[in-house]
Structure 1
Amino acid sequence: MEITDEWVEMFFSAVDENRVLKRRESSTVEFKRVFDWVTKEFKSNIGRTAAAFANRDGGVIVFGVADQPHTLIGIDNFDRVDDAEISAFLNEHFAPSIEFSRHTVKVDDVTFGVLQIAPARVKPVVCIKDSAKTFDSDIYYRYSGRSSKIKSSDLFIMIQEGREAAQRKWVDLITNAVKIGVENIGLLNVASGELKSSNNNTFLIDESILDKIKILDRFSESDSGAPAVRVIGDVIDAARVVERARNIHEEDVYLSFLTETLHAPGLDYVSAIMRMTSEYYPIYFFLNSANVPLDQRANRVNDIVSRFKVKLKILKRIADDKLLDGKRKSYPISNTPLGIQRRMVLEGYRSGVPLEIETEQECKVALEAVFSLDTGDFDRAFVKAELYSIYNRYYPFTVDATNYLFRWAITYLDRVLDRQ
């Protein structure tokens, strides 16, 4: 992910008329009201979050966004601290080093700071010195919207994945060497810049440096000053650098499902969900958008490269979604006061009468009523429009439990619509 103009436009597109950014903190996003590099507590908190991002999939810390709600307020001091100061603090307290980049962006004449943390090449990143909020030998990991000490199960998976990745690289390297012929191989050390090669023009370049190199042929346009390797002769298609799918956040999944407007291929959304903390998102809508046949869903999902265990959970959902079917039992249509309220909302869904919602508590009842919808007894577009209205007016909700309920409700709706 690069912090480009396109990223800024996409990320801040979820701003309402009250200048509230309708995004929640997640496994890849953290918001901070100020940038206060003077205080020990602030630096320590940033270090903790940076280490947690690095140990997972990377992420961004956006400065200039208030908390609860996420109102855009901006900052004016992000450039007053040199990168070297931030790097020195991180290197003093964590190892291996944490890679980061800083970006100052403007949205409607309001300035924000973005600290982007890259996923660590060697994991885990470990705290090596106490600070105000971090402690020697601790390993931090990003769980949804919080950074905390890693769970033993996640640490085991991280170590195992590191071993498997190293084994794959050696196997790929040796396999390619055998195919090309040892006498025809040149090795490039990108750390020292040293190049050792035979008289042949063929080079074996490790995949870990592809994001630092641009391969140019006579059809390519070069950027001034950009690092590049010029290849004389033909460049096979497999050697070209393929543009990565745009970064897709939780809210983008919600909006695309509710409005049925996609800004990326359907399988890109499924891939993005695999990087989140739960498998319970509207996956069937995106699989259908990609025209994946019912009997090919598991195979297509399995073909998506992902190192996160959510992928396995999605495959289990595709095989058997009983947990979703059982969710409706938690919110019955009964003769209790809440049950009666749910029945009234349910009748509105079925009859196409717009809901009159004025509080978050009423939102909660409206979401609970979704679990009583059955195949064919409601208009898809109407129900989605009602949930979209709730999203526009109240999301993110002040109570975390309602945020989770919203995700479960649209996931359940996706399952019901898929059965149609």
Structure 2
Amino acid sequence: MKINEDWANGFFSAINEENILKRRESNTTEFKEIFDWKNKEFKSNIARTAAAFSNREGGVIIFGVADRPHIIVGIDDYDSVDDADISVWFNELFSPSIEFVRREFKIGDLIIGILQIFESKNKPIICIKDSAKTFDSDIYYRYSARSSKIKSGDLIYLLNEIKDNEKDNWLKFLSNITQVGIENIALLNSVTGELSSSNNTFLIDDAILSQIKILDKYSESHDGAPAVKIIGDVVDSAKVVEKTKNIFEEDIFEAFLTERSSAKGIDYISSICTMNSEMYPLYYFLNLDFVKPEERFKYVELIETRFKNRNRVLSRLSDDGKIHSKKSQYSLTSSGVGQERKNIHDKIISQEELVLESENDCKLVLETLFSLEKDDADIKYLKHQIFRIFESFYPFEKDLINFVFRWSLTYIDFIYYKEI
């Protein structure tokens, strides 16, 4: 994730007329209304969140956005400290170091501060000192919209991931050595500046070392420069690919409900693979790319990602029984809440405009959707009603309704678009 003007324009495009940002906190996003570096509890909380992001896939802490609803309020003191102050504080509490960059963006007349935390290359980041919100020896991890102590299963996964990555790197390195010949190999220690070969060791001056850039393009020549020989499989890396648009959770919902897509279906599915759950509309976006049912699994399997959610998406494509089981969870009965759902169900069948005056009204409608069959209602009518909910109430105050909203869209996608 590259935080630049394009990213900011995409992320903050979801601001409505009331200056509310219609996006939720997630495993990569945290909102803070203020930036108060003088407050010890505030500083400690930021460090804890940064460590949690760093131990997962990285993320952004956004300052100047109020909590529930996410009104853009802005800040005016983001430059009251410099990067060195933040770095010293992080290093005081955690080891290894947490890498970050800071940016400011102007949204209307307001300043928004962004603290981007990078995924650590040296996991796990471990707390080495108690503070207001951190405790010595703890490892923090990002769970949806929370930064908390890592669970045993995720710690085991993280440690296995480290071992697997190290093994893969060694195998690639040794494979390249065999092609070049061990007598022709030299190793550069980018920390000390030592360049060692089988015959000699050279020390590169600090001034030169800081200017060395790793070659990351494949070229025969450039402005008369000599050709570069790259050892290894370069087929994928040599391709010129179109830059993928930043796609957020809300963009997935809106594209599905309005049927107005700003990217290819595979781009939306690739974004789903980075999410915390596999329960999102899938089949609509696969159909958008004209993928035949028998080719869906292979199509998604070819998505290159290090996020483990892709495997969950593939499992869904193999067996979607979990979605269908939701049908029995919200019954239509002759009394209580069941009767309210039954009344809504009858209105949907008649294609009447639904009453949506509160979050509870929305919750009942979303629960009722699980009782529908494909032939019960026109999909255009249904999406219009759900989009009214999305426009007026999303994100919901209650996390449970956010959960039901996502699952209900997944169910509608399942019954209307799985079979084509």
Say whether the fold is shared (TM-score over 0.5). Answer: yes
Q: Residues 213 and 64 of structure 1: is their aligned pair in 2 closer, same or farther, counting only changes over 3 Å? A: farther
User: Contact (CA 8 Å) 1:26, 1:145: kept in 2 or not?
Assistant: yes
Distance in 1 separating the partners of 2:304 and 2:226:
32
Q: Residues 233 and 196 of structure 1: is their aligned pair in 2 closer, same or farther, counting only changes over 3 Å? A: farther
Tell me which moved more, 2-11 or 256-265: 256-265
**Structure 1 residue 154, shift from structure 2 partner:** 0.3
User: Contact (CA 8 Å) 1:95, 1:125: kept in 2 or not?
Assistant: yes
Q: 1:77-92 maps to which residues of 2 (within 5 A)?
A: 77-92=77-92
- State the partner residue of 1:232: 226
Is 1:28 matched up with 2:28?
yes
Q: Residues 168 and 52 of structure 1: is their aligned pair in 2 closer, same or farther, counting only changes over 3 Å? A: same
Distance in 1 separating the partners of 2:243 and 2:167:
24
1:109-157 superposed Cα distances (whole Å, 9 cap, x missing partner): 2100000000001111100111110001000000000000000000000
- State the partner residue of 1:407: 406
- State the partner residue of 2:147: 147
SS at match of 1:105: strand
SS at match of 1:74: coil
Tell me which moved more, 260-269 or 132-141: 260-269
Q: 1:74-223 maps to which residues of 2 (within 5 A)?
A: 74-185=74-185, 187-192=187-192, 214-215=216-217
Distance in 2 separating the partners of 1:285 and 1:375:
14
1:64-123 superposed Cα distances (whole Å, 9 cap, x missing partner): 000110000000110111100000000111111100000010111210000000000111
- State the partner residue of 1:60: 60
Distance in 2 separating the partners of 1:61 and 1:88:
18
**Structure 1 residue 353, shift from structure 2 partner:** 2.2
Distance in 2 separating the partners of 1:43 and 1:253:
34
- State the partner residue of 1:207: none
- State the partner residue of 1:45: 45
User: Contact (CA 8 Å) 2:221, 2:228: kept in 1 or not?
Assistant: no
**Structure 1 residue 321, shift from structure 2 partner:** 1.4
Distance in 2 separating the partners of 1:114 and 1:220:
37
- State the partner residue of 1:339: 338
Gapped regions of structure 2 (runs ≥ 5)? 199-211
- State the partner residue of 1:383: 382
- State the partner residue of 1:416: 415
Distance in 1 separating the partners of 2:213 and 2:194:
19
User: Contact (CA 8 Å) 2:280, 2:407: kept in 1 or not?
Assistant: yes
Please tell me the residue identity of whatever aligns with 1:91. Answer: N
SS at match of 2:21: coil
Please tell me the residue identity of whatever aligns with 2:339. Answer: I
1:209-241 superposed Cα distances (whole Å, 9 cap, x missing partner): x996553859989xxxxxxxx963268765548
User: Contact (CA 8 Å) 1:328, 1:372: kept in 2 or not?
Assistant: yes
Distance in 2 separating the partners of 1:330 and 1:304:
33
Tell me which moved more, 333-342 or 299-308: 299-308
Q: Residues 302 and 238 of structure 1: is their aligned pair in 2 closer, same or farther, counting only changes over 3 Å? A: closer
**Structure 1 residue 2, shift from structure 2 partner:** 1.3
Give the length in aligned residue pairs.
401
**Structure 1 residue 248, shift from structure 2 partner:** 2.6
Please tell me the residue identity of whatever aligns with 1:320. Answer: D
Q: TM-score, normalised by structure 2?
A: 0.88
User: Contact (CA 8 Å) 1:161, 1:307: kept in 2 or not?
Assistant: no
Is 1:295 matched up with 2:294?
yes
Please tell me the residue identity of whatever aligns with 1:248. Answer: I
**Structure 1 residue 194, shift from structure 2 partner:** 5.3
Q: Residues 239 and 232 of structure 1: is their aligned pair in 2 closer, same or farther, counting only changes over 3 Å? A: farther
SS at match of 2:13: coil
Please tell me the residue identity of whatever aligns with 1:354. Answer: E
- State the partner residue of 1:271: 270
Please tell me the residue identity of whatever aligns with 2:406. Answer: R
User: Contact (CA 8 Å) 2:10, 2:246: kept in 1 or not?
Assistant: no
1:14-47 superposed Cα distances (whole Å, 9 cap, x missing partner): 1111001011110000000000000110110000
Gapped regions of structure 1 (runs ≥ 5)? 199-209, 222-229
Distance in 2 separating the partners of 1:327 and 1:107:
41
User: Contact (CA 8 Å) 1:27, 1:144: kept in 2 or not?
Assistant: yes
Distance in 1 separating the partners of 2:193 and 2:384:
57
CA RMSD of aligned residues (A): 2.5
SS at match of 1:349: helix
**Structure 1 residue 376, shift from structure 2 partner:** 2.5
User: Contact (CA 8 Å) 1:217, 1:231: kept in 2 or not?
Assistant: no
User: Contact (CA 8 Å) 2:221, 2:227: kept in 1 or not?
Assistant: no
Distance in 1 separating the partners of 2:118 and 2:106:
22
Tell me which moved more, 147-156 or 340-349: 340-349
Distance in 2 separating the partners of 1:366 and 1:409:
10
SS at match of 1:122: coil
Distance in 2 separating the partners of 1:360 and 1:325:
25
Q: Residues 344 and 111 of structure 1: is their aligned pair in 2 closer, same or farther, counting only changes over 3 Å? A: same
Q: Residues 187 and 263 of structure 1: is their aligned pair in 2 closer, same or farther, counting only changes over 3 Å? A: farther
User: Contact (CA 8 Å) 2:50, 2:98: kept in 1 or not?
Assistant: yes
Please tell me the residue identity of whatever aligns with 1:232. Answer: P
Q: TM-score, normalised by structure 1?
A: 0.88
Q: Residues 25 and 239 of structure 1: is their aligned pair in 2 closer, same or farther, counting only changes over 3 Å? A: closer
Distance in 1 separating the partners of 2:122 and 2:170:
15
**Structure 1 residue 339, shift from structure 2 partner:** 2.4
Please tell me the residue identity of whatever aligns with 2:167. Answer: Q
User: Contact (CA 8 Å) 1:186, 1:195: kept in 2 or not?
Assistant: yes
User: Contact (CA 8 Å) 1:215, 1:231: kept in 2 or not?
Assistant: no
**Structure 1 residue 188, shift from structure 2 partner:** 4.4
